[in-house]
Amino acid sequence: MILILEYFYWQFIEIPKRLSRVFLNLMWFGYKFFSIKYCFETLFSPWRKIVFVYKKGFDLGNRLEILFNNAFSRFLGFLMRVFMILFFLIFELIVILIWIGLVSIWIIIPIAAVLGIFISYSLFQNV
């Protein structure tokens, strides 16, 4: 009796728990690999620290050019980071889907096996 209870605990709680731990690790990996925290922290920072410094004295043309260049550097940085966040989201989605799929398959295995034996046996008898 204890063995059967232990089996149910192992099949429906322990192994899904272990599988979940693996997928949580994979989600953590995605967060680290795509540097999500840093992407948000530096979302509008210039790309690769590329910044131009204003020359001494007032020169409107030069000011506008440098303003544009710096803004472009920030925009490029923003764009790259947004893409990275997007990739992260896609990766996480795939991980979650596989996670749900695998856990579901695992839970179904014993039920499917027992049902399969019964069904195939009864079908076999009807032949």
12 binds another protein (CB under 8 A): no
As given in the structure block, the two tokens for residue 14 are: 């322990």
82 binds another protein (CB under 8 A): no
Rg (C-alpha) for the chain, rounded Å, is 28
Collapsing DSSP states into helix, strand and coil, what is residue 58? Answer: coil
CA distances from 117 to 37, 44, 47, 112 (A): 51, 60, 62, 8
Size of the site for another protein (CB under 8 A): 40
96 binds another protein (CB under 8 A): no
124 binds another protein (CB under 8 A): yes
54 binds another protein (CB under 8 A): no
Q: Which of 16, 45, 52, 92 binds another protein (CB under 8 A)?
A: 45
**DSSP letter (8 states) at residue 55:** P
Q: Which of 54, 71, 100, 116 binds another protein (CB under 8 A)?
A: 116
CA distances from 2 to 32, 54, 104, 109 (A): 43, 78, 25, 21
**Chain residues that interact with another protein, rule: CB under 8 A:** 6-7, 10-11, 14, 22, 25-26, 28-29, 32-35, 38-39, 42, 45, 47-50, 77, 80-81, 84, 109-110, 112-117, 119-121, 123-124, 127
